[in-house]
Structure 1
Amino acid sequence: MAFSGALTLTDLNDFISPSQACIKPVSQTNRDPTQIRIDQSGSYYELETHPLVHTTPVERKLEQAQINLNDCLACSGCITSAESVLITLQSHTEVLTFLEANASVDTSCLSYKVPIISISPQSLASLAASLSVSCAVSVTPRQVLRRLNVFCKQILGFYHVFDTNFARHIALQEHISEFEERRGRAQRNDPEALPMLASACPGWICYAEKAHPEMLPFISATKSPQQIMGALAKKWMAQRWHKRASEIYHVAVMPCYDKKLEASRADFYSDSYGFHDGKAYSTAGGHAHGDTNATRDVDCVITTGELELIAREKGFDLSLPPDLPTLPFFPELLQHPGSSSGSYLQAIVTHLMSSTSSSLSVESFAPPSSLTAKPAVSSLTLTVKNVRGTDHEEYLLTNAETGAVVFRGARCYGFRNLQNVVRRVGRERGRPYDYVEVMACPGGCVNGGGQLKPPPAWRDTEGYWSDKEWTRRVEDAYWHDLPTPPHSPRESPDDDGETRRACRKVLFRTQYHAIEKDENGLAVKW
């Protein structure tokens, strides 16, 4: 990715990075003095007025500043100084500080918190791929999870260790339920019902809220697996442990730094979880820190690299298998068909191809390109078209008898492909897609910015760590384990009672907010 030499930002002027020296100083002692002139048309001109060099001022018309997509992704300016403080509070040092202080508190004391940690499967795959290379022995994500279970419990002092696949299965079911709701709205000619855009990527959400607010009505309201796991920890687990939500400290291990910002959103800060008169409620977004039950759904997010750093600092060797008996019938790591970035598109396609509207077909646990409909159940034919490699694929479900198009979907990874989707959704007449699985990182979540870097032998001559071969290695590690299908629900989510539907919306749904730009003439350069 090529970056421009200098960036000009007109609406992001509060970013403060005191720990870094500016590479483009504002003052340059060897430069001629200049002035800016504005003519009647509004054009800007730079006048060089050095008396020893120019007898007459040299005038140069200034071009309009343009920031391309590479500049936008390179500058990190969308994270303001206020947000950067939130991110610094979510680090591995913060986790270690809490665990050390919490260990000295008596468990019967009200200030004691139950520490739990949930680990994403993408993080497990990254660790497995790295260990497989360093040890020259194949290591699976399931084995990594067992070793982390020992490390987090015996060394760090966590009470429970989970993977987030269970929360993702819930997210997929809620995703399907929301898609059916939107299809019903589309049949009633609601222009903002479809296409439905995936919402699990916080980088995409941040970009849409700040750059394309017109996309927000199309983005799914279903929470990401990280936040669903947080809701389960602070509500479901707290009830069963007879604890308040604020008495649980939930740490999430994610492949992406943007997940830290997602956990800090006001929408995921709840003063309380509970039920009143048979209805679920959650006072989300109310930063009433005086409330003893006020808590975030996810207290702290660390990346895969930060977890590996903690293990090295504690002297724990993740390459050594734990000397513990294994439970062969216990599903330690739930898996799923589809993609390594959530399988949201796969879940909807499988749902549409199944015989009933409530069950997911789990007969095919391969990537979606190999999925075929069961002839006895469905007469739909799935066609997968590569638009631009594996990062941009289109899915077409057609009636095998009539040839009519039933469903149009797309899988879009990386901002370059994302821009094309935004352009098509926003400008084209009609509905180009019914559903789009959107992820900001090329290659999806297995190539997140918080993942482990490849060993030197896997890096190219320029030193880039996001090598396609390494990403493919992590992807292969992700699918190494035998999948464990989730139980299909006996009833459709749409058939739930009013109380259950209200509970689902409180725990598993969220909302988004367009961020107004401060239009001014100031420019910040570095």
Structure 2
Amino acid sequence: MSAILSADDLNDFISPGVACIKPIETLPVKPEDGSNPYEVTTEDKAAAAQPPPPASISLTDCLACSGCVTSAEAVLVTLQSHTEVLTTLDTYRSLRAPWQPQNCTDGLTNGHSNGVNGHSHEGRLFVASVSPQSRASLAAVFNVSEAEAGNMISQLLSGPSGLRAGGHQGSDFTWVIDTNVMREACLTAAADEVALALNPNSSKAPTKPGAEGAIDTTPKGPILTSACPGWICYAEKTHPYILPHLSRLKSPQALTGTLVKSVLSRRYNIPPSQVWHVAIMPCFDKKLEASRSELTSSAWSSSPDISQDPVRDVDCVITARELLQLASARGINFSSLPRKPLSTAERIPFPDPKLDAFLFPPSRRRNQDAVAGSSGGYLYHILQTYQAQHPGSSMSVSRGRNADVVEYSLVNGSDTIIRAARFYGFRNIQNLVRRLKPPKASRLPGGKTGVSRKPGAAAEAGVKEYAYVEVMACPGGCTNGGGQVKVTEVENVRVESGLQITNGDVLAPKPGPKEQKEWLARVDEAYFSASESEDNTLDQDADSPMQDVQTNGHDDVVNGISRRKIKDVMDHWSAITGVNTQTLLYTSYRKVESDVGKKVSDMERVAGLAVTVGGGW
């Protein structure tokens, strides 16, 4: 983790736990061969003994522990930083795809040695994905458009004056993917998931006890967004009764990683470990998402290598602030990078025409409208989908108890078609999960089961009437993520970049909450101002498979997203990999249990230690 992260930066933090699930236990050292186990150790020998190595805590360990929640884990670990990106680039050469396989006629490799100079194991295929919120943060800092900020990021990661100009290997990223593309697939799948859950005629298999968050189960209403990893960690560790409500859909970050690893490893006949994927995200908790065991090659690989550990779909996550650290560490002035797209002449096509047209469309995928929010617009797209299916219906929006609680209703005359809500920030989330908690059964003889006598029973009933709830940990949404450039850092970043400070850019001497709110409004402005008409970096043929997405006047197209086209691409992806779409698009969640904070007797502790060292009774 980058040293720039501190507890003061966390806006999704609740409280740390009382202990770690990996306590440091002092175990007796086994005697070496030839030594006397009964020899008395003198004081000078004991002093010369080597101390035990320091305990190391990984992000995966934190995910398996219920001792703390959300960004508390990020303070405890040192992994997934810009330093890891530079170290990996300096260790491995970039594989320049497509290399020429031997005896191959179908576009795929056949098991022969491929890669740089015939030694693919010495290189890596480097791929990056960039979120629109990160681009918006940098756009506000450097007073450029969101599209120009995206071009600057691409120039840093893949351009001639970027990372390839330095380092031991001269490596850079072969592809830089806009996660807005995969977001469209997520939005379409989210609408299908809600329609399936709400359809009374759809067949739903009964959920087995303990499998409430399984990938093959249908969530029950209200369905809660699963794209925010801080919220997911909180639910898994503290409120397992929420698991049946969680959407099983992967986030755009996770879905991009699955597509990149599965397709490239299949097309080039290389192990997934040789595809190295970094994601640039607005939130530190996205590092936790990348460390989940469910989001690895073991979930989708048709022939996993049991001798190798599963490979993460996303190898590393860095934030907008860490991206600036990345450039600075290589002596690159980010503000001086070209703001124009990369040259199309040097672009290497993705190894499948249909996926290449999908991932790199001729025009930049625009962000959602302001009414959809800055977190991907899941809720709004679902409402738009239902609205397209019910001509003449209208959408009403009402603010809740604060600006981060918004209620939506789709009505047709006096009939309410669907109700939904948005809950941002952990204070509001706590109110939400409290209302969803099932009532306890009465222990009195003859008492009724499942009857709530709490004063908030009416409010709970209102929450349970929602079909979908968009839940995000950060107040204000993803543009306010913990990894975004804060108002207190803007001036220093601009001065270090040599930017000319104008009167309109002068900030308060000591920016406070008011200035941070104003700064977030500027970031939101950059996010929502992204235009679909801005040119992207690619040239495509007129008969590109994704050209007719903008068909109007049909409920198949919702806000410019063609459900038919998305489904066609997803089916094509499934055919390439031989993995069903459910496995590719969805994931699972589980209740996190540990002994943290529980009292353990001395006898139980001694017995546990004895078993650890091979003893026991």
Local SS of the residue matching 1:411 = strand
Q: Greater CA deviation, 219-228 or 496-505? A: 496-505
Q: Which residue number in structure 1 is paired with residue 151 of structure 2?
A: 146
Distance verdict in 2 for CA 1:80–1:408, change over 3 Å? closer
Deviation at 1:202, TM superposition (A): 0.3
The structure-2 alpha-carbon separation of the partners of 1:183 and 1:104, relative to structure 1 and needing over 3 Å to count, comes to closer
> Using a 3 Å threshold, how does the CA distance of structure 1 residues 126 and 118 change in structure 2: closer, same or farther?
same
1:191-221 deviations in Å (ceiling 9; x for gaps) = 9611100000000000000111000110000
Residues 389, 352 of structure 1: alpha-carbon distance in 2 compared, 3 angstrom cutoff: same
Q: CA deviation at 1:251?
A: 0.4
Q: Who is 2:331 aligned against?
A: 315
1:435 corresponds to 2:513: no
Match of 2:84 in 1: 94
RMSD: 3.8
Cα pair distance change 1:15/1:305, threshold 3 Å: farther
Asked if the contact 1:86–1:261 (Cα under 8 Å) also holds between the matched residues in 2, the reply is: no
Cα distance, 1:424–1:458 mapped onto 2, change above 3 Å: farther
Secondary structure at the counterpart of residue 409 of structure 2 = strand
| Partner SS state of residue 467, structure 1 | helix
| 2:500 pairs with 1:490 | no
Q: Measure, in 2, the Cα distance between the counterparts of 1:417 and 1:186.
A: 34
Alpha-carbon distance between aligned partners in 1 of 2:406 and 2:285, rounded to the nearest angstrom? 24
Alignment of structure 1 residues 306-455 onto 2, 5 Å? 306-320=322-336, 322=338, 330-337=362-369, 338-355=372-389, 378-400=391-413, 403-426=414-437, 428-429=460-461, 431-454=464-487, 455=490
Name the aligned partner's letter for residue 525 of structure 2: D
**For the residues of structure 2 that align with 1:183 and 1:323, how far apart are their CA atoms?**
46
Rounded Cα–Cα distance in structure 1 between residues aligned with 2:232 and 2:148: 33
Quick one: which amino acid aligns to residue 162 of structure 1? I
- How do residues 108-257 of structure 1 correspond to structure 2 at under 5 angstroms? 108-111=118-121, 112-132=123-143, 139-153=144-158, 154=160, 155-156=162-163, 157-184=172-199, 193-257=220-284
Q: TM-score, normalised by structure 1?
A: 0.71
The answer (yes or no) to whether the contact 1:125–1:477 under 8 Å persists in 2 is yes
> Which amino acid in the other structure matches residue 470 of structure 2?
E
Q: Matched residue of 1:397: which SS?
A: strand
Distance 1:269 1:465 in 2: 42
Q: Structure 1: which 5+ runs fail to align? A: 18-74, 133-138, 275-280, 356-376
- Deviation of 1:79 after TM superposition, in Å, equals 6.9
Q: Spell out, residue by residue over 1:367-409, the C-alpha distance to the aligned partner (whole angstroms, 9 max, x if none).
A: xxxxxxxxxx612121100013431100011122xx1221110
Identify, as 1 or 2, the structure richer in helix: 2
CA–CA separation in structure 2 for the residues paired with 1:123 and 1:223: 19
8 A contact 1:272–1:282 mirrored in 2: no
CA distance in structure 2 between the partners assigned to 1:216 and 1:458 by the alignment:
44
Q: 1:92 to 1:186 in 2, by over 3 A?
A: farther
Counterpart amino acid of residue 234 in structure 1: K
Change (3 A) 1:417 1:84: closer
Aligned with residue 520 of structure 2, among 471, 475, 478: 471
Amino acid at match of 1:470: W
Q: In 2, Cα distance between the equivalents of 1:77 and 1:333?
A: 37
SS at match of 1:251: strand
- Structure 1 stretch displaced more, 251-260 or 86-95: 86-95
Q: Please say if residues 188 and 563 of structure 2, whose CA atoms lie closer than 8 Å, have aligned partners that are also in contact.
A: no
SS in 1 for 2:297: strand
CA 416–15 in structure 1, closer or farther in 2 if over 3 Å, else same:
farther
Cα separation, 2, equivalents of 1:471 and 1:161 = 26
Q: Which moved more, 1:198-207 or 1:301-310?
A: 301-310
How many residue pairs were aligned? 420
Preserved contact between residue 15 and residue 69 of structure 2 (Cα < 8 Å): no
- TM-aligned CA distance change 1:422 to 1:98, over 3 Å: same
Name the SS of the counterpart of 1:383 in structure 2.
strand
Unaligned ranges ≥5, structure 2: 1-7, 25-65, 96-114, 164-171, 208-218, 345-360, 439-459, 492-505, 534-549, 551-559, 601-617
The C-alpha deviation readout for 1:252-287, integer Å capped at 9, x for no partner, is 01111101011001101224745xxxxxx586xxxx
Secondary structure in 2 matching 1:266: coil
Other-structure match for 2:38: none
Distance in 2 separating the partners of 1:256 and 1:199:
15
> Could you tell me whether the CA contact under 8 Å between 2:265 and 2:275 is conserved in 1?
yes
**Percent identity between the two aligned chains:** 37
| Separation in 2, partners of 1:8, 1:386 | 28
- CA–CA distance in structure 1, aligned partners of residues 87 and 513 of structure 2: 33
Q: Quick one: distance in 2 between partners of 1:13 and 1:434?
A: 37
CA distance 1:169–1:382, change in 2 (3 Å):
same
Q: 1:421 Cα deviation (Å)? A: 1.5
* Partner SS, residue 268 of structure 1: coil
- Greater Cα shift, 150-159 or 326-335: 326-335
State the Cα distance separating 1:319 from its structure 2 match.
2.5
Tell me if the contact between 2:71 and 2:230 (Cα under 8 Å) persists in the aligned partners: no
Contact 2:138 2:320 in 1 (8 A): yes
